[in-house]
């Protein structure tokens, strides 16, 4: 009874806090000071809430991007890249996926010898319709090889995205697709998501697609992460099981299910890449005495976007995941990267 009262009081206080009615400082509960204050003092109070500190400037960000090691791509044989140049890759996403596509383009600009092309499925589909009107033989978007990225479904509705992914790959429009990837958004898996239900639906769709398209390779994709929150508000949110840390824990549980089920298949492990800092340590958070990966600070902008370094890292990981789809690599897939361990560097 006492625990229930405490939790209800904490939740009510959080609601008031987020509305700006109370402040929490130094871990103590306190009523807002309503005494008249000088104008300068009021401005100082408001500034932290309204003014956002500028993120890394362009020059610094360019330097951080240059630190991203692309050496792993050099270890992939030319035969594999030649094989991928003949493939049609369908990358279904929403939001963050477009930034990953930009990251792939940046990596390819630094590695022109790979000679892969990133294309918008929407643009190619429009061109296909123009060819069809002209009576051309190739009247489909996948008339040429390339990495085709396309938006799918609506954020916050992961099962709808899975349905759309399955429906498209089973349609005649996707008959030429060789490799397919479905990426969720952060909003698809939040703290209250039933990850078992979402994962079971995804696994079911994979089996259905494989039964109909046995020659199609599916690259599985872990759910992306958000940056940890710090300060008094973050502490209150964590106390009542809310905030990005709790959501990252839920995403971690989904990602563990995916890694375990598809351990010997190609996996684009976004979560592992996002949580691994450039110095090799891991960004993690603790939720209910369990440690979970979180988005590393150098990869997040604080507004749910990726920094340039974050885009390049995920662009590199995207290409590495594709390299496991080469003919020479089939049947030799290594186990996917595990989540950060307890003894890794962390942020609580």
Residue 232 has pLDDT above 60, yes or no: no
Residue range 248-277: mean pLDDT, rounded = 96
Higher pLDDT, 261 or 31: 261
Q: Which pLDDT band, with edges at 50, 70 and 90, does 8 fall under? A: low
Give per-residue pLDDT as tens, 151-169.
999 999 999 999 999 999 9
On average, the pLDDT of the chain sits at: 78
Q: Where are the domains of the chain?
A: 1-32, 73-323
Residue range 289-297: mean pLDDT, rounded = 92
Residue range 251-279: mean pLDDT, rounded = 96
Residue 110: strand pairing partners: none
- List phi, psi (to 5°) of 218: -105, 125
Q: Which pLDDT band, with edges at 50, 70 and 90, does 136 fall under? A: low
What pLDDT score was predicted for residue 53? 42
Tokens 């994979």, located at residue: 206
Q: Which pLDDT band, with edges at 50, 70 and 90, does 27 fall under? A: very low
- In CATH, which superfamily holds the domain spanning 73-323? SGNH hydrolase (3.40.50.1110)
Query: Cβ(265)–Cβ(333) under 8 Å?
Result: yes
Residue 69 has pLDDT above 60, yes or no: yes
Of the candidates 191, 192, 189, which has an alpha carbon nearest to the alpha carbon of residue 202?
Answer: 189
What pLDDT score was predicted for residue 5? 47
Residue 3 has pLDDT above 70, yes or no: no
Helix axes of 195-212 and 158-169: crossing angle, nearest 10 degrees: 0
Is the pTM for the entire model greater than 0.85? no
Tokens of 209: 């697609």
């Amino acid at each position: 009874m006492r625990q229930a009262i405490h939790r209800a009081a904490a939740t009510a206080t959080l609601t008031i806090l987020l509305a700006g009615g109370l402040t929490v400082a130094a871990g103590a509960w306190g009523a807002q000071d309503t005494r008249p204050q000088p104008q300068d003092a009021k401005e100082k109070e408001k500034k932290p809430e309204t003014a956002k500190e500028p993120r890394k400037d362009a020059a610094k960000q360019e330097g951080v991007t240059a630190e991203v090691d692309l050496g792993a791509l050099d270890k992939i044989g030319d035969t594999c890249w030649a094989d991928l140049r003949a493939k049609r890759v369908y990358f279904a996403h929403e939001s963050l996926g477009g930034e990953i596509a930009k990251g792939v383009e940046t990596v390819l600009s630094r590695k022109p010898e790979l000679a892969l092309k990133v294309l918008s499925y929407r643009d190619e589909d429009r061109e296909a319709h123009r060819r069809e009107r002209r009576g051309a033989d190739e009247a489909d978007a996948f008339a040429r090889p390339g990495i085709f990225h396309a938006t799918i479904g609506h954020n916050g509705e992961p099962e709808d995205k899975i349905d759309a992914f399955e429906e498209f790959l089973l349609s005649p429009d996707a008959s030429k697709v060789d490799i397919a990837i479905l990426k969720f958004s952060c909003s698809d898996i939040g703290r209250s998501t039933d990850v078992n239900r979402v994962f079971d639906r995804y696994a079911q769709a994979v089996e259905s697609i494989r039964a109909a398209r046995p020659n199609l390779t599916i690259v599985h994709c872990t759910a992306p992460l958000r940056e940890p929150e710090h300060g008094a508000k973050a502490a209150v949110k964590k106390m009542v099981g809310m905030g990005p840390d709790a959501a990252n824990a839920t995403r971690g549980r989904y990602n563990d299910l995916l890694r375990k089920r598809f351990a010997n298949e190609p996996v684009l492990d976004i979560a592992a890449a996002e949580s691994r800092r450039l110095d090799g340590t891991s960004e993690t958070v603790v939720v209910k005495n369990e440690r979970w990966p979180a988005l590393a600070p150098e990869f997040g902008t604080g507004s749910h976007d990726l920094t340039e370094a974050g885009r390049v890292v995920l662009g590199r990981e995207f290409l590495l995941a594709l390299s496991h789809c080469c003919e020479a690599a089939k049947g030799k897939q290594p186990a996917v990267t595990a989540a950060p361990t307890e003894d890794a560097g962390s942020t609580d």
